[in-house]
Amino acid sequence: MIVKCPNCGQPVAVKLGRKRLNISLKKVSESLQAHRSIAVAAQELGCSEGYIFGVLKANGLKLKDVLGEKHCGKEDTK
């Protein structure tokens, strides 16, 4: 974004917003497997719980895929 400098009046390029986190799937999955809690993993990685779900979704995974949980003693076949 280009704005006008209040001191000299010249146009100045300014970057807005915060930098991307870019936390890899490997780090997310290792943290989830170590803590088995999304809240603790998010705190360790310095991100939100929604960010963790977003990383998993972007890679076509669900939480149960990373944690290796089974439902009712049977593995999901779908």
Give the domain ranges of the chain.
Answer: 22-68
pLDDT value at residue 70: 64
Alpha-carbon gap, residue 43 to 63, rounded angstroms:
17
Residue type, 55: V
**72 band by pLDDT with thresholds 50, 70 and 90:** low
Judge residue 21's burial from the number of C-beta atoms within 10 Å of its C-beta, 0-12 exposed, 13-18 middle, 19 or more buried.
Answer: exposed
Kindly report the backbone phi and psi dihedral angles of residue 5, in degrees, each rounded to the nearest multiple of 5, phi listed first: -65, 130
**34 band by pLDDT with thresholds 50, 70 and 90:** very high
Provide the CA 75 distance to its chain's centre, in angstroms: 27
Does this model's pTM top 0.75? My answer is no
pLDDT value at residue 54: 95
Q: Which residue has the higher pLDDT, 73 or 19?
A: 19
Structure tokens at 38: 């999304």
Tokens 């890899």, located at residue: 24
pLDDT, mean of residues 46-60: 95
